[in-house]
């Protein structure tokens, strides 16, 4: 099945579960992020797992190693399949998170956030041509630390894949059905087909599906564009 992840950026559990129910059997992964996790908590994760979804818990951990270790332990205990932490937290934080996953029973892949897809190169303190190399360098470090992959825009996926050893994964948000940013907060965007051709292993899509007149039609459109 294609690795399409729907970002459940919705205000509460009932909205999230209603959307997940509509897309059950179509989209294999659900992303529980800051908004809905703050509203609905771990119960929502358990319910999505019980519905048969793979769950990506996108809380972007960034704290002292001991705290992140505990968060990663809790995520693993909860049955989360994939969770994120910030590369900027550094090696000790990342390794502590990996230990936490083992203590929690394993099974949770940890991915490092590199440069947020909402940031322009200038906002990230980089020149445009420097972004892919900066992201690839963070990816190489994340791989050395033992993480399973990185979150980056499709625009950097090729540089990441050219730098890391095989098997290290790229998860790309900022996916739009046309090449232009849609006037929202995302800045480094790419179409599904281009992101996959560049090496993306997972695509994360939120508003293009959530805000569509028919989310099922929109999800099928993204899946078709994934080839």
Catalytically active residues, by annotation: 60
Residue (105 or 133) nearer to ligand C5P, CB: 133
Q: Which of 94, 150, 205, 222 binds ligand C5P (CB under 6 A)?
A: 205
Minimal CA–CA distance to 161: which of 135, 187, 129, 127? 135
CA distances from 223 to 10, 17, 26, 179 (A): 21, 21, 9, 17
89 binds ligand C5P (CB under 6 A): no
Phi and psi at residue 214, to the nearest 5°: -130, 100
Where does residue 107 rank: exposed (0-12), middle (13-18), buried (19+ CB within 10 A)?
A: middle
Residue (9 or 72) nearer to ligand C5P, CB: 9
What span, in angstroms and rounded, lies between the C-alpha atoms of 171 and 153?
Answer: 8
SS3 assignment, position 56: strand
C-beta of 206: minimal distance to ligand C5P in Å?
3
C-beta of 204: minimal distance to ligand C5P in Å?
5
Site string for ligand C5P, 126-165 (x = CB under 6 A): -------------------------x--------------
Q: Which of 65, 89, 111, 117 binds ligand C5P (CB under 6 A)?
A: 117
C-beta of 175: minimal distance to ligand C5P in Å?
6
């Amino acid at each position: 099945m294609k690795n399409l992840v729907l970002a459940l950026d919705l205000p509460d559990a009932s909205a999230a579960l209603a959307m997940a129910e509509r897309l059950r059997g179509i989209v294999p992964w659900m992303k529980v992020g800051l908004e809905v996790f703050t509203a609905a908590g771990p119960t929502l994760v358990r319910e999505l797992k019980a519905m048969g979804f793979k769950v990506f818990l996108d809380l972007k951990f960034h704290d002292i190693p001991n705290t992140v270790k505990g968060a990663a332990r809790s995520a693993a205990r909860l049955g989360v399949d994939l969770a994120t932490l910030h590369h900027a937290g550094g090696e000790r934080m990342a390794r502590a998170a990996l230990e936490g996953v083992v203590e929690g029973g394993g099974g949770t892949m940890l991915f490092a956030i590199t440069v947020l897809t909402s940031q322009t190169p200038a906002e990230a303190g980089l020149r445009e041509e420097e972004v892919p190399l900066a992201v690839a360098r963070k990816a190489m470090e994340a791989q050395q630390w033992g993480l399973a992959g990185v979150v980056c825009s499709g625009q950097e996926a090729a540089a990441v894949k050219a730098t890391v050893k095989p098997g290290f994964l790229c998860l790309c948000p900022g996916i739009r059905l046309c090449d232009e940013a849609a006037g929202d907060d995302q800045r480094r965007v790419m179409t599904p087909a281009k992101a996959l051709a560049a090496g993306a292993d997972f695509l994360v899509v939120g508003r293009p599906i959530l805000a569509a007149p028919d989310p099922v039609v929109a999800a099928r459109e993204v899946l078709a564009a994934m080839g």
